[in-house]
Amino acid sequence: MKISRVFAAVAPIGLTVAALMAPSAVAVAAIDGPDPSASYVAANSSCPDGMSVIVPDRDAVAARGASAALPSPAQSDPETQAVLRGIEATAVSQRAASENVTWLTSMDCTVTDVTAGPAESAPASDGDLPGSINRSSSNWSGYQYAGLDPDYVYYRVASMVWQVPTPSNPAVATSRHVSIWPGLGTGDSVNDLLLQGGTESFEGPVGASGTYGWFEAYPLQPSEVMINNLPINGGDEVGMTVAYYGAFNAFFELCNYTTDVCGQAELDVPPAQGGILSDRVEWIVERSAAAGNYSELLNFGTEQIDSAEAYEEYGSGVSYISFPAGAVPLGGTSTYDRITMKSCDGGTSLTGAPSANASDGGFTVAWQNYGSIESC
């Protein structure tokens, strides 16, 4: 059950990397809105309905930094402005501004048959890190925070940086995938969407292999939507941010720092879908699914996740906090899951347990086994 909340004005956050090393509350105060200089362009018809490309002015970004690259939604209430400041503070946005990347001026999409979906989870056990719970999942490995409604904890922004795994065996006779992404929500229903975006690396069946960037609002979009005109290659360093702001706006930003190209878009979430208040946030390495079955897990070696961060509102919507994955939850009242990927029967570990997080949100996930194509 969602809790109705009363919103109050909040102060902007301009957090440095040092400030992200531990949770810190934002005081209640008046807020100055960001100063975006971005235009909106309708995405191509191949993309979901209600999707617009956000095109920042490079000169403005060079002069004023990440603030100039922010979207400018119709809503200008303090809550929306605070979330925009949360997007601005992420390592993904700050790096895009500092490198003065080229921004996509259009977006072309392909709806794939690959799904990055909700977790298939096994019973939990007490974790070995402060505030953590150990879980296994047949498709996820990484970290997930769960807010507790009585504490009015909701998540508005999820972000992280990683290196794209390189497919190495296109001649394999089976299908192997790995999808890496930050996300918000559970995807359990159209009223609790899983908003996510990241990269997909795949190999097989015979002769097929590749990588691409994608986004998805599951189950509103039941499979990954590939961004055709933002090329992603194995070995590229990329960053992704997903967010909710305004009444029914979803946002994503995908950056390829190897090629210095970024794309931003805003997606209308129909009012009937809800899902604008997410009590989950995730940073995940996943074996994705197709035709109702999980694929084998592509051998990605050890995946380094950096700058895994989130932006949380709490206390009846009056306060905000930006924190790295692995931080002890605010006040110790909510928990986070440390997730290891296993086969459907739990007998084979496909990954090791994610490493303990660094103070800046860095952690690793190590591949262990391919597993098999299966349905749980």
- pLDDT tens-place string over residues 150-164: 455 678 899 999 999
Taking the C-alpha atoms of residue 319 and residue 153, their distance in angstroms, rounded to an integer, is 10
pLDDT band at 123, cuts 50/70/90? low
Kindly report the number of other CB atoms within 10 A of residue 190's CB atom. 16
- Residue 230, in any domain of the structure: yes
pLDDT at 124: 55
pLDDT at 311: 87
Identify which has the larger pLDDT, 28 or 343. 343
Mean pLDDT over the full length of the chain: 81
Contact 311, 320 (CB under 8 A): yes
Backbone angles phi, psi at 267, to 5 degrees: -125, 125
Mean pLDDT of 196-206: 91
Taking the C-alpha atoms of residue 267 and residue 21, their distance in angstroms, rounded to an integer, is 31
pLDDT at 27: 29
Taking the C-alpha atoms of residue 307 and residue 313, their distance in angstroms, rounded to an integer, is 19
* Top mean-pLDDT range of 21-30, 96-105, 272-281, 329-338: 96-105
Q: What is the pTM of this model?
A: 0.87
pLDDT at 119: 84
Identify which has the larger pLDDT, 147 or 68. 68
pLDDT at 274: 44
Q: Are strands 289-290 and 335-341 parallel, antiparallel or unpaired?
A: unpaired
Q: Which domain holds residue 102?
A: 37-112+142-291+316-322
Kindly report the number of other CB atoms within 10 A of residue 171's CB atom. 11
pLDDT band at 14, cuts 50/70/90? very low
- Residue 126, in any domain of the structure: no
pLDDT tens per residue, range 361-372 = 899 999 999 999
pLDDT at 313: 74
The answer, yes or no, to whether residue 169 has pLDDT greater than 60, is yes
The answer, yes or no, to whether residue 272 has pLDDT greater than 60, is no
- Residue 28, in any domain of the structure: no
pLDDT at 316: 56
Taking the C-alpha atoms of residue 77 and residue 82, their distance in angstroms, rounded to an integer, is 9
- Residue 208, in any domain of the structure: yes
- 259-273, 275-289, 294-308, 323-337: least confidently modelled range: 323-337
Mean pLDDT of 176-182: 97
The answer, yes or no, to whether residue 212 has pLDDT greater than 80, is yes
The answer, yes or no, to whether residue 197 has pLDDT greater than 80, is yes
Taking the C-alpha atoms of residue 327 and residue 362, their distance in angstroms, rounded to an integer, is 11
- Residue 52, in any domain of the structure: yes
- Residue 352, in any domain of the structure: no
Q: How many domains does the chain have?
A: 1
- 191-195, 296-300, 337-341, 363-367: least confidently modelled range: 191-195
- Residue 228, in any domain of the structure: yes
Taking the C-alpha atoms of residue 72 and residue 49, their distance in angstroms, rounded to an integer, is 19
DSSP 183-248: EES--SBTTB-EEEEEEEEEE-STT-EEEEEEEEEETTS-S-EEETTS---TT-EEEEEEEEETTT
Identify which has the larger pLDDT, 87 or 190. 87
Contact 244, 175 (CB under 8 A): no
Mean pLDDT of 353-365: 87
Taking the C-alpha atoms of residue 114 and residue 313, their distance in angstroms, rounded to an integer, is 32
pLDDT band at 357, cuts 50/70/90? confident
- Residue 209, in any domain of the structure: yes
The answer, yes or no, to whether residue 175 has pLDDT greater than 80, is yes
pLDDT band at 355, cuts 50/70/90? very high
